[in-house]
Structure 1
Amino acid sequence: MKNQPAHRQPAARILDQEDLNFLLTNRVPRALLTRFMGWFSKIENPVVAALSIRIWRLFADLDLSDARDQEFRSMHACFTRALKPGARTIDTTPGVLSSPCDAIVGACGTLEGINALQAKGAPYPLTDLLGDAEQVETYRDGLYVTLRLKSSMYHRFHAPADLRVEHVTYLSGDTWNVNPAALKRVERLFCKNERAVIRTRLQDSGAVLTLVPVAAILVASIRLHWLDGLLRPGYRGPKHIPSQADFAKGQEMGWFEHGSTIIVFVPPGFALCPGIEDGTPIRMGQALLRQVGMTDGAVSPEADT
């Protein structure tokens, strides 16, 4: 993944100041601003889209060189853009779980019982995040990885292994920004925001893996390809959604309509792959977690998406 440009735009450097960043992106009418952006981003006008993307570039290191399309009918189309064929490589090592998305790795490691960290010194209980005490016990003393998607990144997410989706729980909530400035200041932020808890089962070992896409300020909507409709503020469908959808490793599962976070949970018996630590950039398809005893760290065969 490309590093951040050495010389950022002046507007972007303003947002690097944490206190000001937090004020500008959180101490605002979040729900109202999110509804407005949801409407505005879908305006299909090439002039509006081009101007919006130009302004967006002032605040973010937006790189569209790997996008399938280079012109967009709306800002929303740019947010949810597809990749060129072969733009990502999937690690196909048996027992390795690949990253479901492009991201910056956040807090990660072994759960302390059923507690994870959203930032240093800021724990949260899985019971609050997942909303299901029985499911939480599956991950006691297991592993977790927080994957933060910046607003400029590729927003689609993919299956980290051959798996079956068994259940989705939709939890409505707030739309706090999920950047580091907010994670340091808002207690149990992930447990307060809108999110989907996606329980899956790995086809090779039968182990349970849960993905938790957490929405954030601005569009705050999640598309899951096996469900009808969009999970978004104002959703009136069932909270618990039994599912039966099979995905091959690397296959697209859905997308965010703006930058946000995916948290990955696995039970004991897994380990972080080398180089996975807080602050590390990662691309969809790169090695993220491995099942202990199934891999030996050898160079993996690879396949293009």
Structure 2
Amino acid sequence: MTKWLLRSMTELSSRKWISGLTGKFAQSPSSRRFISRFAAAYGIKAEEAEKPLSEYSTLNEFFTRRLKPGSREVDLAADSLVSPVDALITGAGHIREGTILNVKGQDYTIEELLNRSPRTANYMNGFYLVLYLSPTDYHRIHSPVSGRIVEREHIAGKVYPVNDFGLRHMRRVLSRNERLITYIRTENGETAVIKVGAMNVSSIRYVLPLKEETAKGEELAYFEFGSTVVLLMEDGTFIPRGDIMPGVKVRMGERLGTHAGKILQ
């Protein structure tokens, strides 16, 4: 009964206009007084922020903050693929004939995640990682590889929570929520960076100006409040680090594995 009630309440609150109201407050000057309390409540390392807390004019400005230079080290080895975000890994594994298996008890098809894109064929037997950002985390999204951005796609959708409850008890949240997808082509293969919106996320925004080329560790986008990034690596191009599995915490720029072009063939 409790689970049914929570699920019903979540369904009702998944409308974009409700998330929009939350976003408007976070962008208002009146939200400024909550910044220090927000940072304390979530144990955010204020000393890593680009500016002192007193210099942020809204809660949203603080939430989408940049970090001081040098706060994250990016693995620049030619064959590395790095984490685009600070996050908790909630799913990881090989894609089996176009299906991601058992992300919090649910399966997803690559076709639905990529909105039936023709590029689906590139990832039918690749590798996936699901990276969950909590309110504690730094919320800018960086490029996991260096390469050419060959396509961007915006997919409209719901704003269900992408936390443990949402992924376990709501139906296929990762493929029903709003998504921005960036496809990056490198000499070692293609990578899809899927940015998934969530409850109380008023938007996912690209960093401007948009570029045709990106360097590993360069900013791609940012979330306004917590959400999830799904990484898809093209068939036969990626070997994960030995300890990469659900429950492992990673930081932006940290090496996730070897990305070296058809190495599994």
Number of the residue aligned with 2:213: 246
**In structure 1, C-alpha distance between the alignment counterparts of 2:233 and 2:261, rounded to whole Å:** 15
**In structure 2, C-alpha distance between the alignment counterparts of 1:61 and 1:104, rounded to whole Å:** 16
Counting only pairs closer than 5 Å after superposition, residues 222-301 of structure 1 correspond to structure 2 as 222-226=204-208, 245-267=212-234, 268-291=236-259
- Distance verdict in 2 for CA 1:23–1:187, change over 3 Å: closer
- Distance verdict in 2 for CA 1:223–1:118, change over 3 Å: farther
Asked whether the equivalents of residues 34 and 59 of structure 2 are also in contact (C-alpha less than 8 Å), the reply is: no
Q: What's the TM-score, normalizing by structure 1?
A: 0.77
Counting only pairs closer than 5 Å after superposition, residues 10-21 of structure 1 correspond to structure 2 as none
| Offset of residue 218 of structure 1 | 0.8
Q: Which amino acid aligns with 1:201?
A: R
User: Is 1:160–2:128 an aligned residue pair?
Assistant: no
User: Once superposed, which parts of structure 1, at least 4 consecutive aligned residues long, lie more than 6 Å away?
Assistant: none
Q: Which amino acid aligns with 2:116?
A: D
Number of the residue aligned with 2:60: 76
Among 10, 14, 25, the alignment partner of 1:40 is 25
- Distance verdict in 2 for CA 1:25–1:157, change over 3 Å: farther
**In structure 2, C-alpha distance between the alignment counterparts of 1:258 and 1:75, rounded to whole Å:** 10
Q: Which amino acid aligns with 2:72?
A: R
Number of the residue aligned with 2:37: 54
- Distance verdict in 2 for CA 1:133–1:84, change over 3 Å: closer
**In structure 1, C-alpha distance between the alignment counterparts of 2:93 and 2:170, rounded to whole Å:** 21
- Distance verdict in 2 for CA 1:167–1:160, change over 3 Å: same
Which deviations, in whole Å up to 9, do the C-alpha atoms of 1:45-77 show, x marking residues without a partner? 5xx41235515744x333322111122210011
| Offset of residue 259 of structure 1 | 0.9
Q: Which amino acid aligns with 1:77?
A: E
Q: What's the TM-score, normalizing by structure 2?
A: 0.88
**In structure 1, C-alpha distance between the alignment counterparts of 2:255 and 2:8, rounded to whole Å:** 35
User: Is 1:135–2:102 an aligned residue pair?
Assistant: no
Asked whether the equivalents of residues 76 and 257 of structure 1 are also in contact (C-alpha less than 8 Å), the reply is: yes
- Distance verdict in 2 for CA 1:118–1:164, change over 3 Å: farther
Which ranges in structure 1 are unaligned for 5 or more consecutive residues? 1-17, 229-243, 296-305
| Offset of residue 136 of structure 1 | 1.1
Asked whether the equivalents of residues 84 and 217 of structure 2 are also in contact (C-alpha less than 8 Å), the reply is: yes
Number of the residue aligned with 1:216: 198
Number of the residue aligned with 1:193: 177
Q: Which amino acid aligns with 1:100?
A: P
SS at match of 2:192: strand
Identify which range, 23-32 or 218-227, moves more after superposition.
23-32
| Offset of residue 90 of structure 1 | 0.6
SS at match of 1:90: coil
Identify which range, 160-169 or 95-104, moves more after superposition.
160-169
- Distance verdict in 2 for CA 1:164–1:43, change over 3 Å: same
Which deviations, in whole Å up to 9, do the C-alpha atoms of 1:77-114 show, x marking residues without a partner? 11100101100001112211010111001111100111
Number of the residue aligned with 1:10: none
Give the aligned CA root-mean-square deviation in angstroms.
2.6
Asked whether the equivalents of residues 178 and 261 of structure 1 are also in contact (C-alpha less than 8 Å), the reply is: yes
Asked whether the equivalents of residues 22 and 182 of structure 1 are also in contact (C-alpha less than 8 Å), the reply is: no
| Percent of pairs with identical residues | 26
